[in-house]
C-alpha cells in the first residue's frame, strides 16, 4: 500500500525505523472485524451459547468479540435484527467502555452517528438518566436514531444540531460527554485506504481547528465534577496531544485522568508536540494511543478529562426515566384513556410499570419522555424519549421502537419463532405468515414477534394468520 509521502516521512520521524517498520508490516495483517453484545437484551454468557458465528473475545472490551469477516455475515442474521449486537471496529469500542456511564447520569454523545458509541452508553445507563445523542448531519442522525431504537434504548433524545446551538439549552447540564471528534482518519488507513485521498486534500491542520472549537463548546455543557472523553482515530499529534494541551492551558479546572490500563495500550507522547508543554507532560502521558501493530485493532487516541469541582458549585441530581426492572401491572391510566381507549387497551397487554406523568401526546403520536426534557424547545429533535405508537382513527398502532424496547416477558401476547424457522426471514421481509401451530385458536390481536425469545417487531393475529407490522424501512433486503 502506498502511503502519502508527507505522512510517511512524519511517521518515520516520530516512530523511528524499527517501530515504523512494524507499523508498515501491520498493513499486511488481515483486517479485524468486531461485534459488541447488547447486554441490555442478552448477557455475554448467553450470547456465547447461542452465537451462530465463530467468535473470539476482545481482551480489553468486556462485551466485545472478534468474528471472521471473510466467512460470517452477522448483518444478515435475524439476531442482528433483534438488536443483540452492534458491528463495530474493535478499537472504536474503547471510548464508550472507558467513559462508563452510570445509571442516572446525563450523558451527551456530541458526534454520535452512526451510533456505535451511543448505543453502548445507552446500555450502560440501564434505562435511568438521559442519553442525548447528536449529529450535525440530519441524514446521519436518522441512521443514529435507528440504531438506538434497534438496541431498545428508551431514555434518549436524538438531535441534529451544532454544538453552539446545543450549548444554549444544555449549559452545565451533563455529567458525562463523549466527543468522538472529526479527524484526519490516519488510524483508519489500514481499514479503508480511500481515506488517504481525503488526508492529502485536508490534512491534520484543518481538523485540529475544528476539534478545538467543538471541545471548547462541549466543555461548557459539562457540569462541575463531570467527565469528558475525547477521542480520534488519527495519529497526528496536533489533533491529539495538541488539542488536549490547548484545553489544559485554557481551562485550569481540567485534568487528564488515569484510564484503566491494558497491556497493549500506549501512552500519550507530549515530546511529539512542537509547542512548549512544560508542566503538562505527566498529564499528556495519561492519554491512550492504540496502534495497529501492537493490538488487534485500528489506530485510536483517547483522553479522559475531569472538570474539577469549584467551591460553591453543587452537583445536579441524577435524572430519572424508567426502571427497567419494573414488570408490575401499569398504574391507573385516566389520562391515557381520555386520549384513546384503544391505547389504554393495548397497554393492558404490557407488564411495564409506566409513570403516567411521562406520557406525551403530539400530533397523534404517543411518547414516553423523561421529565427534564419535556420542556426542551428550539432544537431540531428527531426523537425525544420512547415512541410508543400512533393513535389513528379507531385504532392504536404500536411502534417498532416499543417492540425493541420490550422483552418477551413484558408482553402477554407473543409469538416466538426458532432461529432456523423460514418464517423468521419471511416476517423480516414484511410477508404475512401462518402461525396456527404456535397459538391458541381463540388468540387474536397484537402479538410481539420474537426470534429465539428476542423481540423483532409487531404483528396482528387474525384466525391463525399474522398480518405483518414489521417496520417497512427496516425490512430484510
Report d(CA 392, CA 103) in Å as an integer: 35
Closest of 373, 306, 378, 376 to residue 162, by C-alpha: 378
Question: Would you say the C-alpha torsion 449, 48, 405, 231 has a positive or negative sign?
Answer: negative
Report d(CA 7, CA 194) in Å as an integer: 15
Report d(CA 308, CA 254) in Å as an integer: 6
H helix intervals, 372-435: 400-405, 422-428
Burial class (CB in 10 A: 0-12, 13-18, 19+), 380: middle
Name the residue with cell 507532560. 281
Question: Would you say the C-alpha torsion 430, 433, 438, 443 has a positive or negative sign?
Answer: positive
Catalytic pick among 111, 233, 391, 411: 233
Other beta carbons within 10 Å of 175: 22
Enclosing H/E stretch for 167: helix 163-170
419 belongs to the catalytic site: no
Closest of 319, 320, 391 to residue 353, by C-alpha: 320
Query: Could you tell me where the beta strands, DSSP code E, fall in 173-291?
Result: 174-180, 222-232, 254-256, 266-267, 288-290
Catalytic residues: 233
Amino acid at each position: 500500500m502506498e502511503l502519502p509521502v508527507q505522512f510517511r516521512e512524519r511517521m518515520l520521524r516520530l516512530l523511528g525505523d524499527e517501530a515504523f517498520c512494524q507499523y508498515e508490516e501491520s498493513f499486511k495483517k488481515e483486517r479485524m472485524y468486531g461485534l459488541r453484545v447488547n447486554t441490555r437484551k442478552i448477557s455475554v454468557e448467553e450470547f456465547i451459547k447461542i452465537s451462530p458465528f465463530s467468535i473470539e473475545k476482545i481482551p480489553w472490551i468486556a462485551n466485545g468479540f472478534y468474528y471472521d469477516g471473510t466467512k460470517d455475515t452477522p448483518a444478515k442474521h435475524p439476531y442482528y435484527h433483534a438488536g443483540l449486537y452492534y458491528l463495530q471496529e474493535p478499537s472504536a469500542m474503547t471510548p464508550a467502555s472507558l467513559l462508563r456511564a452510570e445509571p442516572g447520569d446525563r450523558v451527551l454523545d456530541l458526534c454520535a452517528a452512526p451510533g456505535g458509541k451511543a448505543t453502548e452508553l445507552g446500555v450502560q445507563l440501564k434505562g435511568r438518566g438521559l442519553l442525548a445523542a447528536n449529529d450535525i448531519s440530519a441524514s446521519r442522525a436518522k441512521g443514529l436514531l435507528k440504531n438506538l431504537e434497534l438496541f431498545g434504548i428508551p431514555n434518549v433524545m436524538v438531535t441534529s444540531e451544532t454544538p453552539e446551538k446545543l450549548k444554549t439549552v444544555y449549559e452545565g447540564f451533563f455529567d458525562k460527554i463523549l466527543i468522538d471528534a472529526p479527524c484526519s482518519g490516519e488510524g483508519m488507513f489500514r481499514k479503508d485506504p480511500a481515506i488517504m485521498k481525503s488526508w492529502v486534500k485536508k490534512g491534520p491542520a484543518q481538523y485540529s481547528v475544528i476539534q478545538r472549537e467543538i471541545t471548547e463548546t462541549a466543555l461548557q455543557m459539562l457540569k462541575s465534577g463531570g467527565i469528558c472523553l475525547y477521542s480520534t482515530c488519527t495519529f497526528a499529534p496536533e489533533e491529539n496531544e495538541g488539542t488536549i494541551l490547548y484545553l489544559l492551558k485554557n481551562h485550569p479546572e481540567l485534568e487528564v485522568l488515569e484510564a484503566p490500563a491494558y497491556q497493549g495500550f500506549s501512552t500519550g507522547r507530549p515530546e511529539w508536540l512542537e509547542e512548549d508543554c512544560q508542566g503538562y507532560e505527566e498529564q499528556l502521558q495519561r492519554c491512550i494511543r492504540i496502534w495497529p501493530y501492537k493490538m488487534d485493532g485500528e489506530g485510536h487516541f483517547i483522553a479522559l478529562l475531569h472538570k474539577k469541582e469549584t467551591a460553591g458549585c453543587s452537583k445536579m441530581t441524577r435524572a430519572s426515566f424508567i426502571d427497567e426492572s419494573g414488570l408490575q401491572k401499569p398504574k391507573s391510566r385516566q389520562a391515557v384513556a381520555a386520549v384513546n381507549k384503544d391505547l389504554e387497551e393495548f397497554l393492558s397487554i404490557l407488564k411495564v410499570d409506566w409513570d403516567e406523568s411521562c406520557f406525551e401526546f403530539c400530533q397523534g403520536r404517543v411518547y414516553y419522555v423523561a421529565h427534564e426534557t419535556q420542556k426542551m424547545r428550539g432544537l431540531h429533535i428527531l426523537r425525544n424519549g420512547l415512541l410508543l405508537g400512533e393513535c389513528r382513527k379507531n385504532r392504536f398502532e404500536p411502534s417498532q421502537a416499543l417492540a425493541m424496547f420490550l422483552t418477551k416477558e413484558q408482553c402477554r401476547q407473543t409469538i416466538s419463532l426458532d432461529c432456523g424457522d423460514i418464517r423468521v426471514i419471511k416476517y423480516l421481509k414484511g410477508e404475512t405468515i401462518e402461525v396456527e401451530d404456535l397459538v391458541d385458536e381463540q388468540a387474536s390481536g397484537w402479538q410481539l414477534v420474537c426470534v429465539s425469545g428476542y423481540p423483532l417487531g409487531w404483528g396482528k393475529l387474525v384466525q391463525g394468520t399474522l398480518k405483518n407490522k414489521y417496520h417497512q424501512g427496516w425490512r430484510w433486503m
